[in-house]
């Protein structure tokens, strides 16, 4: 069955329309490295520690919990399958062709981790969308993500580099370009499946894909889910066989996020999120903006401290950038950052921003065919809870496939990540799905 689907897929690369076609035949392997599970876990923890340092999160608060659950997961796997210690895990970083915002062919990059199994077949494929950190050093193609430990569950793990990271490090980071990222990450997944085949690794006849992300990665996960179900050909969608998606504290309608910040005159704890999001519009949706430039959207105070140049930097995380912004502007009021013309809802500037932002809406106008779980804390000030409630209301109307899960502990955006990751890395995939879909959210 699997070989037949691959054959259909190869035929489709020639036959289907451009928007539903993958360009995986031109992929290029950049690096291959084999690990034991212990080595894989060690590399992942090192990446995690570096990532926590970049996003300014205390390792004692977050790293200890994650390391504890990984070791617990490792122990459970060894008890059930002692061959794990003798299993090789292959990490392959690769460059693959996709499309630019203008429709030109470009090369992007990613990582796939594959268990080298002698007797068993691959049960599932996980696509993981990492939290946003533009640093080149923690792009998956350059470092082993901690989530790769799930490869031990007979799972192929796929980690896309985002546009502006990895081999496109020199380009602007298209932060809120949800629908654009969905196309690119789907190409990454299809390429990874081709690599799995070329590695002579067998997928079970009933294999399926699950799709997970937290923070902005959660938004990308939802966008990819929508793209697979609404824009991909039936045969390519069948090859992927998407079963479910878990979207943690990162689902929103972009234009509503901006409108709320402008109306309440408050950008919460992370003003850099709004500013980087606005900047990404200029790469993805320049045709909606005519001759407008980023500087047109910024206040005189922001331009005086060269905020437009600061936003292009990638050495800092959005959290660190927020700290620098607070030192420069010392405010979360949009008026301190944005032009008065943007705050005026009747202005041409406001109309251009909302028109472009609406193109990144991946939540409205569709109902998922397979399971979507929206995981969100009520105390998240980065993406306020009301935004995910609005998305849930739109997507769950007479639809049993959308769930909203609110954790018992309701903390900040970062605090909630601890609980999200601890369960994600501790529970097996089937148990995780059952836990989050056991009780429907009550309005």
Domain boundaries, the chain: 2-252+361-437, 254-358
Percentage of the chain modeled with pLDDT above 90: 33
Half-sphere exposure (CA, 13 Å, Cβ side) for 284? 27
162-172 burial, b if ≥16 CB within 10 A, otherwise e? Answer: bbbbbbbbeeb
Percentage of the chain modeled with pLDDT above 70: 79
The pLDDT of residue 190 is above 90: yes
- Six token digits for residue 311: 């936003």
Specify whether the CB–CB gap between 161 and 141 falls below 8 A. yes
Average pLDDT, rounded, for the chain: 81
In this structure, CATH architecture of domain 2-252+361-437:
3-Layer(aba) Sandwich (3.40)
The pLDDT of residue 104 is above 80: yes
At 86, give phi and psi (nearest 5°). -100, 5
HEC string of the chain equals: CHHHHHHHHHHHHHHCCHHHCCCHHHCEEEEEEEECHHHHHHHHHHHHHHHHHHCCCCHHHHHHHHHHHHHHHHHHHHHHCHHHHHCEEEEEEEEEEEECCCCCEEEEEEEEEEEECCCCCEEEEEEEECCCCCCHHHCCCCCCCHHHHHHHHCEEEEEECCCCCHHHCCCCCCCCCHHHHHHHHHHHHHHHHHHHHHCCCCEEEEEEEEEEEECHHHHHHHHHHHHHHHCCCHHHHHHHCEEEEEEECCCCCHHHHHHHHHHHCCCCCCHHHHHHHHHHHHHHCHHHHCCCCHHHHECHHHHHCCHHHHCCCCCCCHHHHHHHHHHHHCCCCHHHCECHHHHCCCCHHHHHHHHHHHCCCCCCCCCCCCEEEEECCCCCCCCCHHHHHHHHHHHHCCCCCEEEECCCCCCCHHHHHHHHHHHHHHCCHHHHHHHHHCCCCCC
Half-sphere exposure (CA, 13 Å, Cβ side) for 306? 4
Kindly report, residue by residue over 10-56, the tens digit of the pLDDT: 333 333 333 344 445 689 999 999 998 888 888 887 887 777 665 55
Q: How far is CA 148 from the centre of its chain?
A: 15
The pLDDT of residue 172 is above 90: no
Answer with the residue of higher pLDDT: 149 or 68: 149
How far CA 204 is from CA of 29, 37, 46, 124, 414, in Å, comes to 24, 22, 32, 8, 37
pLDDT band per the 50, 70, 90 thresholds, residue 81: low
pLDDT score, position 294: 86
Specify whether the CB–CB gap between 262 and 161 falls below 8 A. no
The pLDDT of residue 63 is above 60: no
Q: What would the mean pLDDT of 208-223 be, rounded to a whole number? A: 95
At 252, give phi and psi (nearest 5°). -165, 165
Q: Distance between CA atoms of 63 and 76, rounded to whole angstroms?
A: 20
Kindly report, residue by residue over 333-369, the tens digit of the pLDDT: 777 888 888 888 899 889 998 998 888 898 888 899 9
Answer with the residue of higher pLDDT: 264 or 220: 220
Hunting for tokens 């500037």 — which residue is that?
349
Q: By mean pLDDT, which of 73-82, 117-126, 406-415 is the weakest?
A: 73-82
Strand order from edge to edge, sheet including 28-35: 28-35, 88-99, 105-116, 155-160, 122-129, 203-214, 242-248, 371-375, 402-405
């Amino acid at each position: 069955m699997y070989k037949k689907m691959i054959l259909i897929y190869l035929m489709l690369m020639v036959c289907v329309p451009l928007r539903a076609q993958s360009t995986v035949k031109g992929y290029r392997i950049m690096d291959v490295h084999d690990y034991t599970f212990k080595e894989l876990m060690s590399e992942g923890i090192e990446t995690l520690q570096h990532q926590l340092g970049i996003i300014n999160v205390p390792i004692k608060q977050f790293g200890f919990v994650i390391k504890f659950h990984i070791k617990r997961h490792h122990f459970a796997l060894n008890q059930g399958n002692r061959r794990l210690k003798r299993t090789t895990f292959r990490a392959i970083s690769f460059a693959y062709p996709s499309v630019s915002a203008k429709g030109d062919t470009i090369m992007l990059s990613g990582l796939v981790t594959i268990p080298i199994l002698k007797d068993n077949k691959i049960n599932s494929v996980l696509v993981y969308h990492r939290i946003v950190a533009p640093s080149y050093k923690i792009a998956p193609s350059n470092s082993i993500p901690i989530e790769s430990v799930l490869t031990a569950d007979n799972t192929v793990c796929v980690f896309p580099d985002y546009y502006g990271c990895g081999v496109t490090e020199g380009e602007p980071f298209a932060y809120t370009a949800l629908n654009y990222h969905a196309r690119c990450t789907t190409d990454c997944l299809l390429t990874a499946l081709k690599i799995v085949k070329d590695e002579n690794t067998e997928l079970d006849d009933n294999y399926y894909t699950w799709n997970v992300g937290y923070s902005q990665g959660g938004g990308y996960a939802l966008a990819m889910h929508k793209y697979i179900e609404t824009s991909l050909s039936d045969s390519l969608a069948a090859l992927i066989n998407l079963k479910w998606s878990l979207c943690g504290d990162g689902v929103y309608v972009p234009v509503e996020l901006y409108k709320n910040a402008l109306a309440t005159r408050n950008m919460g704890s992370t003003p850099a999120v709004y500013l980087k999001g606005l900047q990404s519009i200029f790469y993805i949706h320049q045709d909606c903006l005519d001759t407008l430039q980023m500087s047109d959207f910024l206040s005189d105070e922001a331009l005086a401290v060269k905020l437009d140049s600061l936003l292009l930097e990638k050495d800092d995380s959005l959290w660190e950038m927020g700290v620098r912004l607070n030192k420069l502007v010392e405010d979360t009021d949009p008026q301190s950052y944005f032009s008065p013309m943007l705050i005026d809802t009747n202005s041409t500037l406001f109309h251009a921003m909302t028109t472009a932002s609406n193109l990144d809406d991946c939540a409205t106008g569709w109902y998922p065919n397979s399971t979507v779980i929206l995981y969100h804390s009520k105390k998240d000030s980065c993406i306020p809870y009301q935004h995910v409630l609005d998305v849930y209301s739109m997507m769950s109307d007479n639809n049993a496939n959308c769930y909203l899960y609110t954790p018992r502990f309701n903390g900040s955006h970062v605090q909630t990540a601890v609980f999200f990751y601890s369960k994600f890395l501790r529970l097996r995939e089937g148990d995780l799905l059952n836990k989050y879909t056991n009780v429907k959210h009550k309005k």
